[in-house]
Amino acid sequence: MMRMKFLFRVFLVTVALAFAGQELPAQINVIPMPENYSPGSSAFELNDATIVAANPYAMAEAKFLADWLSQATGRSFSIVNMDSMPQSNVIVLSCTKRKIDLTPERLKVMPDSMARRVLQADKSAYRMNVSARGIFVNAEYDEGVFYAVQTLRQLLPAQAEEKKLTLPLSIKGALISDKARFEHRGLLLDCCRHFMSVDFIKNYIDALAYYKMNVLHWHLTEDQGWRIQIDRYPLLTEIGAWRIEKDGTRYGGFYTKEEIRDIVAYAQKRHVVIIPEIELPGHSSAAIAAYPELGCTHAKIEVENEWGVFKDIYCAGDDGTFDFLENVLAEVCELFPSPFIHIGGDEVPKYRWENCDRCQKRIKDEGLKNEAELQTYFIERIAKFLESKQKRIIGWDEILEGGIPADAMVQSWRGMEGGEHAAQESHAVVMSPTSHCYFDYGLAATDLREVYSFDPIPESLTPSQKQFIKGGECNMWTEHAPQELVDGKVFPRLLALAEVLWTYPDQRNYDAFYLRVEKHYPILKAMGITAGFPTVPMDLTVRPGEYSAMVVEINKNISNAVVSVKENDKGDFEPYVDPIAITEPTTLEWQVEMDGRSYPEVLKWSYDPHLGWNKNIKLAYIPSPYYTGGGEHAMNDGRLGTPNFRDGIWQAAQGVDMSAVIDLGNAQRVESLSSNWFHYGNAWIFLPLQVDYAISDDGENWQSVGIATSDVNEKTPGEFPVPFELKLPKPVSARFVRMIAKNHGVCPTWHDAPGEPSWLFCDEFVIH
């Protein structure tokens, strides 16, 4: 053993000298990129006689590696203790400490000096030396050894993951020193809107571990389904786990305690922490459907089969609600060793509380100011209970409203501002802004490059505040993604976030990263993952042509993409050759293939070269930064929106009217005016109450030419565009044309979020 200690001291000195001034070569295909890498002078030959050796603290990782090598090669690999290992042809794994259980109770009984060392230790760090004698891995904690094993896996060819690795194999010499930038590197998987199988979840745990991600945020309860077995409340899974779809079919499922224990144990072996999310006080329709007494009205409701936000939430004025939640959470705590429990806390409409005598009495008795403070009371009461179970809470950034609950971690999704505020108040933060981390969004909104550009730390924070940013998560919500569609949305974007959360910004370069991503497609396929495209394969440029034509031209974002096109749903797809000139309303449908794979999303866009296209426009409102539609000219760029309001074409404003004026340049003959609006009540998107169209010769004096309305009832379910068209009884002459769309202002009283500001979404102001 003394001999090995001496060898490792020599190894560490060698590593330190070799790393001075080194840059990472582009040819290594490791994701995330290691902190320091230097080519070694000699290669290691992996062959039939190679032995895996470890000290006692790293023995679990040695078994993981030996099992994986056996599967990759079809040959058995022996494991020995370091004391009896051979002089060469060996893979040595060593660490000085086991992972320490960092529960609050454990930390309290530690001496202060030890507690500080434990909390400050970098458990992800490792060092690796690949030489002719062997591969030597050293780390302080077994977690670091495990990550070194993942790096070693990625140094091997893709055939290893395909279980077709042929020996002997030469592994290039290398000196690697590495550690994670952030301690929290996670993926949220929503198994409520659509149920995921146990095997699927395990496969994702494998992928997370492979890319050095260490958190699976498991979303287990929602309006549309309760997915976790609770012995004390069997109706949660007998009733709450199932919903009746609109076609009359019964959909759902849940995880038994036995399955959950199996998944948790599987994750622990791969150093992935599973943080369960039990939503409260909102997003609780499934629980209330099972036990109506949990709601304010005690009325029987159904498990929701729509997506959105709903007014029936847990009653905050009834102690029975807290008894229920504490009993549920007690069983949850027994299943999950994670030091954190996620309690949601997002999108909580206050209508039921405002009209509940028990909730109003609670506000009065507790000396609270309003329903926002009642929500804080609710969450703090749950947090106090979880503290008695040695657990801390994580909540979405809405838990900031009414005051931040003590010792809570905040997950910021509505931009970075919530996390920034929480860090300024000395609260731990996980960043998950929709702009970079929502993988349910299409690639038009968030592609691989956009994810890679993410930095979880706001520049405005001071150095002492920045330490509260613990990391980030990508969120895979599944309203529109059953299990078979999840892979194509998560991958390869997860690879970008993995590198963002592991590797420091000054060591990252997107072009070099993308070259590595291309090499990982076969690896993902071998893992049973059907990865999607890295970005929208093409963009369309629209420019003026001859004789008032609109010319549509493609720009490939992926060089080897093969593009075909079809006009107005007529005929077959034809190879795209030249730009397409459009003189009338036209729909173009695009088919794209890359390496034999078809792009999964329908690329079908409509265009209208109307009189107002590409003319000067002035808006009397400020578009939402989340839905700009492409900028100021989104309202007259000739593109018509799709049935997906997140397609990047729709422009939106919340709580205000939308008014726009188009200057046609000179007097033009106007026969009809129209604008397209989006309807999706569950997402708080309503049609205008009316759209008033007017004309002017000077842009100051206006004459109304008519008002357009819609027959679509505001309570109509579903999401779809609706035109508001005004055909003039006779043509008029005008240079300036205006529309004013009247907003509801707030969601109506029948809505599940009454009183909340409603949205208007418009894609184009069309003048013919």
What domains does the chain contain, in order, with CATH numbers? 2-111+119-178 (3.30.379.10), 536-609 (2.60.40), 610-768 (2.60.120.260)
pLDDT tens per residue, range 112-131: 444 444 444 589 999 999 99
Burial of 657 (0-12, 13-18, 19+ CB in 10 A): middle
What is the percent of the chain where pLDDT is above 70?
A: 93
Burial of 241 (0-12, 13-18, 19+ CB in 10 A): buried
In terms of pLDDT, which residue wins out, 600 or 525? 525
pLDDT tens per residue, range 216-266: 999 999 999 999 999 999 999 999 999 999 999 999 999 999 999 999 999
Q: What pLDDT is stored for residue 544 in this prediction? A: 87
Q: Give the contacts of 204 (CB within 8 A, at least 6 positions apart).
A: 187, 189, 216, 490
Q: What pLDDT is stored for residue 6 in this prediction? A: 37
Q: Quick one: average pLDDT of 4-23? A: 39
Q: Quick one: average pLDDT of 204-223? A: 98
Question: Is residue 548 predicted with pLDDT exceeding 80?
Answer: no
The confidence band for 15, taking pLDDT boundaries of 50, 70 and 90, is very low
Q: Between vectors from CA 517 to CA 515 and to CA 522, what angle results, nearest 5°? A: 115
Q: What pLDDT is stored for residue 445 in this prediction? A: 87
Nearest to 722 by CA among 683, 754, 684, 675: 675
Q: Quick one: average pLDDT of 57-75? A: 96
User: Global pTM?
Assistant: 0.88
Amino acid 655 reads: G
3-state helix, strand, coil in the chain (%, to 5): 30, 30, 40
Q: What pLDDT is stored for residue 106 in this prediction? A: 54
Q: Are 607 and 588 in contact (CB under 8 A)?
A: yes
Alpha carbon distance 212, 150 (integer Å): 7
Alpha carbon distance 632, 653 (integer Å): 13
Question: Is residue 102 predicted with pLDDT exceeding 60?
Answer: no
Q: Are 103 and 390 in contact (CB under 8 A)?
A: yes
